[in-house]
Amino acid sequence: MGRYIASRIGQAFLVLWAAYTASFVLLAVLPSDPISIRISAPDSGLTPEDGERLREYYGLDQPIVAQYLHHLLGVLRGDFGYSLTRGTEVRTLIAEALPSTIQLTAFSLLAGLLIAGALGVAASYSRFGWLRGLLLSVPPLFASVPTFLIGILFLQVFSFELGWLPAVGDSSASALVAPVLTLGIAVSAPLAQVLIRTLDSIKREQFVQVVLAKGADDGYAFRHHVLRNSILPWLTLLGLTIGELIAGSLVTETVYSRDGIGRLTQSSVQAQDLPVIQAVVLLAASVYVLVNLVIDLLYPLVDPRIRLTGGPARIRAHKVKEAA
Amino acid sequence: MNSRRSRIRSVALTATVVGSLLLGAACGSGASGGDGAAGEPVYGGTLTFLDPVEYQAFNITNTLWSNSQVTPQLVDRLTYQDPDTGEIEPWIAESWDISGDGLEYTFHLRDGVTFSDGTPLDAQAVKANYDQHGFGAPELGLVKDAFFGNYAGADVVDDETVRVRLSTPNAGFLQVTSIYRSGLLAPSTLGKNLDEQGQIANLIGSGPFVLESANSNQEIVLKRREDYDWAPPSSEHQGRAYLDRIVFKVVTEGSVRTGSLQSGQAHIARNIQPYDEELLTGSGIDIIAKSVDGETNHLNIHQTAPFVADKNVRLALQAATNRQEIVDTVLSPNYGVAKSILPQSSPWFSDNSGALTYDLDRAEQLLEDAGWKVGADGIRVKDGQRLSVEGYVAPFYQPSKATWELLAEQWKRAGVELKVKQVDYGTYTKTVAEKGQPFSQSQLSRAEPDVLRTSYDSTLNNVTFAPDPRLDELVRAQATITDPAQRKAAVADIQKYLIDNAVVIPLYDETQIFAVSPTVQGFGTDPVARSEFYGTWLSEN
């Protein structure tokens, strides 16, 4: 176990370095640079000579490899530098934006799990065919409606018309409701689809049929046998959901005018604000790596038949059962 | 034209409409219109202002539209420019003398003015400010300010007197001292470097408001400075400001800005889409349109590009451009139809509408004369080359895409193919700067005709890429003339030259649209549509 974790942490650093380097290269090959963007606005009052001076000031006139090493060393020391458009330290920007995003994504994940869980169980155990059909059509609907549209509709109905919720996000709890539901709905769709399929297939498994044949009711079988076995695919999917949450927070934060990492990313990409983008990439990659490590460590706890060896564990529950 | 209008409308609006239909109600809780029934100004209240553009570094010279709605509230200037007449009036400088050769400006400062950190705004402070504009501060990463191009230094005569020296006469200099970007900063701010000066918390001025809090450059809260007592003498209101607080928030989504205003969750929203204007007025919101002084929104023609080096081609494009249709189709009646390179609201405007009339026959005749014959596909051809040009959607102007698309339709009638291209911000800056590109959409805002020298002097912005000795002579001459009537004639000559030679293709008078709740009274802007909240108050708070 200890060796497994050590090797995974080693891999994690490799992934982070790769993400950092890849994003640096991508930004370096873009046709423009942050200073050109800054001086290009007709109203900026800056001349190309001013641009040269600014490039020198920010070290952007150095060879690309020197810039890369300089930034990388800075990052290793925990120094992410200054934003090129905001004049603020990148650390400060991230520290200001992060709490709001953590709040949003954590509650959205919870909301997504609840919505998906409710949909999945209700559809799987529905006694009415028409109701099941209706419920089955909800996840594809959620998956296909853009987050953006859901957000605008929520605002229109609950804020502008009914006046229940504030539209331009303040920090109150009620301002969190609509964004959380918006993002929650977006992430619930794949979770619900997978849950419904897993529940349906596990219910048909022989061991469940045996339990039912012995006289247990649906509720008992669900709680003691079906539920635990249907969690593994969910866990796997959860790792991917984290990525979706990060991407979804960009749209959600924009629509609801909330502070946060998503919005910071969007405006920084537009201005090619290199230090900020690099820091956000590292942050997102770290979260992704960490969450997937935790999920892999959880597998053996959920299903004792799984043993962790070298690489990431990615085993679907019924596959294990077939092997067993 | 209906299909065009609906194409312009975004998904966001569709969503708004869908939302409205779902509820069967068309508008939000409408505030009652309070026209004229404002009464006596009252103190107190918090005003919420929504802006679509993310705030960037708050360096005083940053002219970004969103930033420059905030900055003017924090800083005072030596002089004040009347937004209606363009006259320069006293402010922190009670009076000034200009030497006969136009090279020395001696300002006599008001006594007792302090920055919000308690330090005095005296002659030494003014010198420190102007030196940083005029000379830059390389060790701090600060570049010279183009507006102080011929600054030669300043002398502290005594605590309340400062003498500013120029190397060449510049009739536009006095106006420079009135612009928000020449706002006077405390010496403690000036000692900071480029990055530090960019943080709004370090922007210490002597203005009627001071910073209360700022979050991630997304929300900025200003509070009133209680001991403020040095408003421009011409201001009706004196002493402290009326409002307790101003909350500036970035709300990028247009439908959210309008919805927030309609439902009473905000007081002012900047940058309203032309098609939302009627929707808002219909629900009791006031639309305040402020024409932006400076240049009209126009196309600069890069004469180094193929085809447009030929004056006849340029004149043909000028004649094929239907400016009334731009305002009718893409914009709203709140925008002025361009009649010169300067907007109609400018005190220096001279009417060139005769040369800007839409005349398709003339356009076709000019192209025929230049040897361009209509080809098989309706596009003109000469020496085997099709008359096909590219236009890039400018990311700085919200109606840019729709304007270009309309231009493409208009020019096609004359047999010119215009390919409209849209690229990201970064690519745009690289592409449009290329000499091979025929056009760049542009607009400099400054309430002073010297703005034309900034754009068209071949040693300054040189926007045509093709130095023109006659144009250089014209734009430089106006800067040396101190007599207003003579100067006005000189500025009229420049306007006529730019239009008659189709150096530029004016499109529309640049206008800022503010949606304002009827509870807001006394809201105004400076001549370039930057908000001024000193005299603003709320009739319900």
Q: For the segment B480-490, what is each residue's pLDDT rounded down to a tens digit? A: 998 889 999 99
Q: Band the pLDDT of A144: cuts 50, 70, 90.
A: confident
Residue with the two structure tokens 């096609």: B412
pLDDT at B133: 96
Does B155 score more than 90 pLDDT?
yes
pLDDT tens for each residue of A165-182: 887 766 677 788 889 999
Phi and psi at residue B449, in whole multiples of 5°? Answer: -65, -10
Distance CA B541, CA B207 (A): 23
Residue B442's DSSP bridge partners are B298
What is the residue-averaged pLDDT of chain B? Answer: 90
How much is the average pLDDT of A251-262?
88
Dihedral through CA A137, CA A138, CA A143, CA A149, nearest 10? 120
**A8-22, B118-132, B343-357, B468-482: which has the minimum mean pLDDT?**
A8-22
Q: Band the pLDDT of B33: cuts 50, 70, 90.
A: very low
Instruction: Name B304's Cβ contacts closer than 8 Å, sequence gap at least 6.
Output: B435, B436, B465, B466
Interface test with B, best of A40, A53, A55, A158 (most B CBs within 10 A): A40
Reported ipTM: 0.80
pLDDT at B14: 39
Helix/strand/coil for B323: helix
How much is the average pLDDT of B469-474?
96
Strands B93-98 and B385-386: unpaired
Q: Which residue has the higher pLDDT, A318 or B436?
A: B436
Does B17 score more than 50 pLDDT?
no
pLDDT exceeding 90 applies to what percent of chain B? 78
Helix/strand/coil for A176: helix
How much is the average pLDDT of B416-444?
87
Residue with the two structure tokens 């997102």: A284
Is residue A159 within 8 Å of residue B19, measured between CB atoms?
no
How much is the average pLDDT of A185-208?
86
pTM as predicted: 0.85
Residues of chain A contacting B57 with CB distance shorter than 8 Å: 83, 85-88
Does B37 score more than 70 pLDDT?
no
pLDDT at B4: 41
pLDDT tens for each residue of B351-365: 999 999 999 999 999
Is residue B49 within 8 Å of residue B267, measured between CB atoms?
yes
CB contact, 8 Å: A286 with chain B?
Answer: no
Q: Is B18–A30 a contact, with Cβ atoms under 8 angstroms apart?
A: no
Q: Is B444–A43 a contact, with Cβ atoms under 8 angstroms apart?
A: yes
pLDDT tens for each residue of A94-139: 998 999 899 999 999 999 999 998 998 888 877 788 888 888 888 8
Strands B268-270 and B46-51: parallel
Residues of chain B contacting A145 with CB distance shorter than 8 Å: none
Residues of chain A contacting B424 with CB distance shorter than 8 Å: 270
Closest-CA residue of chain B to A45: B146
Per-residue DSSP letters for B466-490?
A: S--HHHHHHHHHHHH--SHHHHHHH
How much is the average pLDDT of B384-392?
95
Q: Is B18–A153 a contact, with Cβ atoms under 8 angstroms apart?
A: yes
How much is the average pLDDT of B248-254?
91
Residues of chain A contacting B255 with CB distance shorter than 8 Å: 152, 156
How much is the average pLDDT of A204-221?
81
CB contact, 8 Å: A148 with chain B?
Answer: yes
Does A48 score more than 80 pLDDT?
no
In our burial notation (b when 16+ CB lie closer than 10 A, e otherwise), range B333-354 reads: ebbbbbbbbbbebbbbbbebee
Tell me the nearest-neighbour CA distance from A40 into chain B, angstroms: 6
Tell me the nearest-neighbour CA distance from A16 into chain B, angstroms: 26
pLDDT at B221: 96
What is the residue-averaged pLDDT of chain A? Answer: 83
Burial (CB < 10 A; 0-12, 13-18, 19+), residue A278, is buried
pLDDT at A309: 62
pLDDT at B424: 83
Interface test with A, best of B216, B432, B459 (most A CBs within 10 A): B216
Phi and psi at residue B424, in whole multiples of 5°? Answer: -70, 165
pLDDT exceeding 70 applies to what percent of chain B? 92
Distance CA A125, CA A127 (A): 6
pLDDT tens for each residue of B284-341: 999 999 999 999 999 999 999 999 999 999 999 999 999 999 999 999 999 999 999 9
Does B16 score more than 90 pLDDT?
no
Q: Band the pLDDT of B12: cuts 50, 70, 90.
A: very low
Residues of chain A contacting B269 with CB distance shorter than 8 Å: none
Residues of chain B contacting A256 with CB distance shorter than 8 Å: 256
Residue with the two structure tokens 């009036």: B89
Q: Is A42–B443 a contact, with Cβ atoms under 8 angstroms apart?
A: yes
CB contact, 8 Å: A267 with chain B?
Answer: yes
**A220-234, B315-329, B469-483: which has the minimum mean pLDDT?**
A220-234
pLDDT tens for each residue of B115-125: 999 999 999 99
Residues of chain B contacting A161 with CB distance shorter than 8 Å: 19-20, 23, 25, 28, 263
Q: Band the pLDDT of B510: cuts 50, 70, 90.
A: very high
Tell me the nearest-neighbour CA distance from B427 into chain A, angstroms: 6
Tell how far CA A259 is from the center of its chain: 16
Distance CA B272, CA B258 (A): 8
CB contact, 8 Å: B425 with chain A?
Answer: yes
Tell me the nearest-neighbour CA distance from A319 into chain B, angstroms: 44
Q: Is B263–A45 a contact, with Cβ atoms under 8 angstroms apart?
A: no
CB contact, 8 Å: A60 with chain B?
Answer: no
pLDDT at B541: 64
Interface test with A, best of B429, B431, B460 (most A CBs within 10 A): B429
Is residue B331 within 8 Å of residue B8, measured between CB atoms?
no
Distance CA A218, CA A221 (A): 5
Distance CA B385, CA B310 (A): 14
Handedness of CA B93, B98, B99, B104 (dihedral sign): positive
Query: Which of 180-239 (A) contact B at CB < 8 A?
Result: none
Q: For residue B445, what is the DSSP state? A: B
Residues of chain B contacting A255 with CB distance shorter than 8 Å: 253, 256
How much is the average pLDDT of B272-288?
92
Tell me the nearest-neighbour CA distance from B17 into chain A, angstroms: 9
Q: Is B217–A86 a contact, with Cβ atoms under 8 angstroms apart?
A: yes
CB contact, 8 Å: B459 with chain A?
Answer: no
Q: Is A257–B216 a contact, with Cβ atoms under 8 angstroms apart?
A: no
Q: Band the pLDDT of A322: cuts 50, 70, 90.
A: very low
Q: Report the candidate in B282, B362, B254 with the shortest Cα–Cα distance to residue B317.
A: B362
Is residue B277 within 8 Å of residue B268, measured between CB atoms?
no
Show the beta-strand stretches assigned E in B277-351.
286-291, 297-301
**A201-205, B278-282, B479-483: which has the minimum mean pLDDT?**
A201-205
**A24-33, B295-304, B504-513: which has the minimum mean pLDDT?**
A24-33
Residue B343's DSSP bridge partners are none
Closest-CA residue of chain A to B148: A45
Does A42 score more than 80 pLDDT?
no
Q: What is the layout of strands, in order, in the sheet containing B439-442? A: B439-442, B297-301, B504-508
Query: Which of 496-535 (B) contact A at CB < 8 A?
Result: none
Q: What is the layout of strands, in order, in the sheet containing B385-386? A: B373-374, B380-382, B385-386
Q: Which residue has the higher pLDDT, B17 or A273?
A: A273
Does B184 score more than 50 pLDDT?
yes
